Amino acid sequence: MSEVTRILERAEQGDARAAAELLPLVYDELRKLAVHKMANEPSGHTLQPTALVHEAWLRLVGEAQPTFENRGHFFSAAAEAMRRILVENARRKHRVRHGGELKRVDITDLDVALVEGDDAILAVSEALDRLAALDPVAAELIKLRFFGGLPNVEAARILGLAERTSKRTWAYARAWLLDELKRTL
């Protein structure tokens, strides 16, 4: 009989210290299990193996006194807890309020004007009019930076925005404008 099984039996009999003794013995194996479970997750996943282990541990030995027959039963329950956590996390990310089916786009290297020439300027201008109806400050920031050539610090000062707010608004407005231009050009 393994040490883990003995501790599990003590926990089943009501020994409150058993859970505290169990974690150091099984932590490394739980972490390996978590790494294995997360290997198939898409890149950019926000949940880390350590957080997965800790969440699974809380579910396994949380409020209810769990009963595990042996070491295998414990690790089977741990694997199932991790699976459920990953499924819940994936479902949460697919909800509309968390972005739904939207994909993340890195906008650091994108320029607003994708095409040069009069048609592009007209398209940008029309898109700016639509943006102004949704978010006048974002549209004004685009005008100041894109058409006026002002740096972020000056544009923020003119609009009375904090520099960080201006950066966030700039990122949002560029992404919105890029998406709008892709549809119209």
- Tokens 């119209």 correspond to 184
**What architecture is the 118-184 domain classified under in CATH?**
Orthogonal Bundle (1.10)
Q: What is the pTM of this model?
A: 0.47
Give CA–CA dist 125/123, Å, rounded.
5
Just give the CATH number of 3-98: 1.10.1740
Give the pair of three-digit tokens for residue 45.
């996943």
Estimate the crossing angle of helix 152-159 against helix 163-184, to 10 degrees.
100
State the Cα–Cα distance between residues 73 and 69, nearest whole angstrom.
6
Q: What is the pLDDT of residue 4?
A: 78
Structure letter (DSSP) for residue 144:
I
Sign of torsion over alpha carbons 47, 170, 151, 124: positive
The torsion angle over the Cα atoms of residues 68, 69, 72 and 78, rounded to 10 degrees, is: -10
Do 100 and 94 touch, CB atoms closer than 8 A? Answer: yes
**The two domains 3-98 and 118-184 share their CATH topology (first three levels equal):** no
Q: Which residues of the chain have pLDDT under 50?
A: 111-115
How is the chain split into domains, by residue range?
3-98, 118-184
The rounded distance, in Å, linking the Cα atoms of 74 and 140 is: 59
pLDDT of residue 103: 59
Tokens linked to 106:
């890195």
pLDDT of residue 35: 78
